[in-house]
Amino acid sequence: MRPLPPRFSTLVLLALGGAIHGANIPEHLAREDTPYYQDYRQPDFPFVEATLDLRGLAPAGNTTNLVPRALVLPLGDDVYVGFDTELLRVAAIWHGDFITPHGMAMLSYAVPLRKLSGGQSRLPQPQGRIVAATGLYPGWQPAADVSFDDPRPRGPDPEELGRGPLPTTDGRWRAIDDHGSAATLHYTLGPVAVTEQFSAHHHETRPFVVRRIELAPHDQPLVCIAAELDENVDTVPTRFAAHGAALTVADGRHIIASIAPSADPQIINIIYALDGQDVPHDLPLSDTFVSTSVNRAELTATTHMVEGVPQGSYAVDELAIPYPNPWQRRIRPMDIDFYPSGEAVMVTYDGDVFRMAGLNANSDEPVTMRRIATGLCEPQSITLRGDEIFVFTRLGLIRLLDLDGDDDTDRYEMFSNDFVQSAETRAFPLSMVPRADGGFLLSIGGQQEAHAAPHAGRVLEIDATGKFVRVYAEGLRNGYLSEFGESGRIIATDQQGNWVPATPMLEILPGNFYGFEPGTTHSRNTPPVPLWIPHRFAQSGIDLVTVPTDNRSLGDLAGSVLMLDFYKPSVVKILTGPADPIRQAVAVPLPVNFEVPLIKGEISPLDGMAYFGGMQIWSCIAPRIEGLCRLRAVESHDALPVAAEAHAEGLRLQFSRPLDPAHALEPSHYQVTSWSYRRTAQYGSGYYRADGEPGVDAALVHSVFLSSDRTTVFLAIDGMVPVEQLELIYDQPDGSSQKVFFTINALAPLDASTRASLGVEDFTALFASAPAPRETIHRTVSLSVERGREIYTQFACAGCHSLDGTTEGFSGPSWKNIYQTRRPLTNGRRRMANSNYLRDAIMDPTRDIVAGYDQSDVAMPSYRGILNADDVDSLIMFLETLRDTPPEPADPR
C-alpha cells in the first residue's frame, strides 16, 4: 500500500477489451469541483429505472398520470418508451429527448450538491412530443370487464398515486433482460406469461415504433390498452395498427387490442406511426425477438487502496476511484457486501453494480473493478444471499441473474415489488437485511411532504419467495436497519427531525412504533430508546456495523457496534452489553477523521477490516464528494473504553490498557452532565433539566476508584437516576478530552464482587462523607469569534448554512452578509438580522422562518438549553465577521 498525501494523484490501469491504457487519476472530487463525467444517460444500455411524471402532459386533461416505478427504454433515433411495471402499461411513447433530470441521482450527477426539494411537484418528465400514452389504469384487462379506473386500494391519503402493484391474479412484473441493443420485458397476467420488446423502425424514411408481444397459451380473451387519445373518435386512427389482434375504440378515446384465446403461443405486433400518418400495410415485421448475449463485465478498471496516515490506533485508507474509467461513469459508492472469499459487490447511487477483487489490507495486490449491472434507480442497499445478489431500488427488490455464466447480469428479476413505493423524492429505499429464513426486512424513508403513503417510515417483512408478509415495525423518519451481529436481532438508527429529538440507536421489534408520525393525528406509546446520541456528535446517524467479538483485526473495536455519522463523517463506537432486548447502551465517539462521506459499511471476512462507502447530496461537511474507505487498526489496543455501565452508585469504565493512577484517580478530570429531550412535531429538541426547565443538570463525581489491575475506573456519583442522556467528559493525560454518552433506562446496584474489587462496601457511608479532594482546574469558555467558529462546526450549523453565499447543497440560507440585513419571512413580514433576531432564530427557530425555507426537508432545531448565553453571543460575533457589505438602514416600516 502507498502513503496518502493530503491531496494525491496516482496511476490507474484500465483494461479495455484486453488493451491496457494508463491515465492519471485527478484529485478526489471536492465539494467545489466539477465531476469528471456529467451526462447521466447511457446511450449503449437499453433501459433505466425511473419515476415518470405525465400529469398534465398526456393523455390530455389528466391530473393523475404518475408512474413511481417506470422503465424508460431508449429505442434509438430519439425515441423513448415509458413502461409502468405496476399497472403493466405503456405509459408513454415520445420522440425527442430523455426524461428531465429531476430524479435525485440524475439532478446531482452533473452538479454534485444539487438536490430536489421534498414532495412530488418536480419529477422526471418526457422531453419531446408524446406520440401515445395511457392513463392510470391497467394496461391489460379481461375482455369481459374493461375499466379505465385504477383498481388498486387507496392508502391513508387518496391523493397519493403510489399504490403498489396489481394483485397477482391480475398481473405482476417479473423481469427485464439486457440483450444489448434491446431489452426484453417479462410479466404475467394471472397464469399467462407475457414477453415483449419495443423497437424503432424506419420504412421508406418514415419512423415507427413496434411493440412485439408474445403471449403464452390462454383460454380467455384479453384486451391490451394500446393508447388513449386526446379527442373522441368513432374509428381507430390509421396511425395505429396491429397484427395478431383487432384494434377497436372503447369509450370514444381508448384504442384497445382484442386478443382471442389460443391453445398455442401468440405473437402480436402493435405499431405506432411517429409522424401521425397511416401505418402502411407492407411494413416489414419480424416474429422473433432480439436475444443477443452481451458481456458488459469484460470492461475492467484496475486501481488500488491508498494507505492512510495513522490517527492514534487507527488509520483510514481510501480507494483511488478510477477516473477516467471505461464505463464513462461517475462512481458514487452507496453500499458494499462481501463474499466469504473477500471479493465484494458494491452499488452506486447512480445504479451501477461493481464486482471488486483485491480489497485486502494484508496484501499489496491491485483492486480490480468490473461493472456487472447498471440502470437501477437510486439504490442504497446491496446484499448477498449465498451467491445471489440483491439490490433494493425504487423499482423494488431486484435479484441480479447471470444466465450464461459470464459474470455479467443478463436478467434483472423482480424478487419483490409487493409493497408501495411513493414518488416522493424522500421515499428512499433505505436499507435491507437478509434473514436466516431467506427473507428480508426492508426500510423506506418516512419523510412525506405531499401525501402520506402506507409503507413510508415502515420496516417491511418479505418472505423467502418475495411475498410481502407484514409491516414489521413503523414510526421511523429515516431508519437504516442492520443485523446485530449474527443474532438475527435487528437494530437501527434514525435521524433527528420532526418527532425525533436526537439521534437514536433502536432495537427493532415486531409491532413496535418508534415515534415518527408523518401526517398522523394520533400518538402511540414508544418503547424506551436504548441509546440517544446528542445531535452535535451524531447529526445524521446512518448505518450500524457490528464488529464480531472474535475479530481482532480491528483491535478494541471487537464486539462493538460502529455507527456511521453522515454530517461530519465519523464513527461512533457503541457498547451494548449482552442484554436481549437491548435495554440501554453507551456511545463513544471515535477520534478518527474521515475525508469521504459515510453511508453504509461492512466488515470484510478476508482481512477483518471495516469498509465504508458514501457520497454527498445532503448536508455533509466532508471535503470529498464520494469515496470508499477502509478503517484499519494499526495498534492492538486504543485509549477508549471497551466496556461502560451506569449503576445506582455511579459510572464504570473498563479499558484494555492500564491507566495511570495519578491521572485516573483525580476527580476533577471528570465532568458529568445530564438532560432529557422532548418528542414534538418541531424539528429536534432542546435540552431539559430534571425540573423541566431548559438546560442540563451537573453531577459531582464524589470519588474515583481504580481496580487492582488498573484497567477499570469507577466514578462514584450520588443521586444517580434514569435519564435519557448523560454525558461524561474525561481528560486524557495528553491534554485532550474524550466524551462518553449514556442512556439510562434502569439502574442496578454494583454487585458485591465489584464493590470488593474497588475497595468500597458501603456507598451510603461514602456519600455521607465529604467528597474526595480534587485539583482546582479552571475551564473557561471564551466569548470570542473563534468560539463562534468552533460552534458553527461542532453543532452542525455548517451542514445547512454556507459562509460564502452558496446555497446549492444547503438546506438553510447562507450566513454571508446576513448580519444587519432585513430578512423576508414566510408571513410576509421582514426582520432586521440584529442580535435579537439571531437569538430568536437560535432558540426559537419556528417563530420567524425565512421565506423560501419553509418547505426544506431539514429544519432548524431549537438550541434552547444546548447553547448558553456566551455561546450565542460568540456565534453572533462570528456572524458579524462574515459581513463584507455595509449594514442596511433601519426598516422605516
* Residue that the C-alpha cell 458494491 belongs to: 346
Q: What is the mean pLDDT of residues 817-844?
A: 80
Nearest to 492 by CA among 500, 882, 484: 484
**Topology at the third CATH level for domain 785-881:** Cytochrome Bc1 Complex; Chain D, domain 2 (1.10.760)
Q: What is the pLDDT of residue 21?
A: 29
State the cell numbers at 231: 379527442
pLDDT at 22 over 80: no
Q: What is the pLDDT of residue 853?
A: 72
With b for 16 or more beta-carbon neighbours within 10 A and e for fewer, the 857-866 pattern comes to bbbbbbbbbb
Highest mean pLDDT among 26-40, 601-615, 758-772: 601-615
CA distance 539 to 534: 8
Is the full-model pTM beyond 0.75?
Answer: yes
Residue 356: how many CA atoms within 13 Å on its side-chain side?
Answer: 28
Phi/psi of residue 105, each to 5°? -70, -40
* 644 vs 10, residue with greater confidence: 644
* Residue that the C-alpha cell 493512577 belongs to: 661
Q: What is the pLDDT of residue 887?
A: 60
Preceding peptide of 581 cis, ω within 30°: yes
The CA-to-CA distance between both ends of the chain, in Å, stands at 66
pLDDT at 6 over 80: no
Q: What is the 3-state secondary structure (H, E, C) of 122-161?
A: CCCCEEEEEEEECCCCCCEEECCCCCCCCCCCCCCCCCCC
What is the torsion angle, in degrees rounded to the nearest 10, for the CA atoms of residue 148, residue 152, residue 155 and residue 157?
Answer: 0
Alpha-carbon separation of residue 2 from 146, 303, 366 (angstroms): 67, 12, 11
* Residue that the C-alpha cell 400529469 belongs to: 55
Q: Where do the structural domains in the chain lie, given as residue ranges? A: 48-273, 331-630, 643-768, 785-881
* 807 vs 131, residue with greater confidence: 131
Q: What is the pLDDT of residue 777?
A: 65
Q: 331-630: CATH homologous superfamily?
A: TolB, C-terminal domain (2.120.10.30)
pLDDT, averaged across the chain = 90
Q: What is the mean pLDDT of residues 376-391?
A: 97
State the cell numbers at 86: 405496476
Distance of CA 660 to the CA centre of its chain: 43
State the cell numbers at 339: 463474499
CA distance 744 to 163: 42
CA distance 411 to 402: 7
Q: What is the pLDDT of residue 610?
A: 98
Phi/psi of residue 842, each to 5°? -80, -40
* Residue that the C-alpha cell 429544519 belongs to: 859
Q: What is the 3-state secondary structure (H, E, C) of 582-626?
A: CCCCEEEECCCCCCCCCCEEEECCCCCCEEEEEECCCCCCCCECE
Percent of the chain with pLDDT over 90: 71
What is the torsion angle, in degrees rounded to the nearest 10, for the CA atoms of residue 699, residue 703, residue 707 and residue 708?
Answer: 170
Q: What is the pLDDT of residue 313?
A: 96
CA distance 496 to 480: 13
- Determine the residue type at 469: V
CA distance 615 to 603: 19
Q: What is the pLDDT of residue 1?
A: 43
pLDDT tens column, 133-179: 999 999 999 999 999 999 999 988 999 999 999 999 999 999 999 99
Place 856 in a pLDDT band, splitting at 50, 70 and 90: low
Residue 661 burial (CB count, 10 A): 12
Based on its alpha-carbon atoms, the radius of gyration of the chain, rounded to whole angstroms, reads 30
- Determine the residue type at 171: G
State the cell numbers at 842: 437560535
Nearest to 650 by CA among 530, 744, 739: 744
Q: Would you mind telling me the total number of residues written for the chain in this entry?
A: 893
pLDDT at 473 over 70: yes
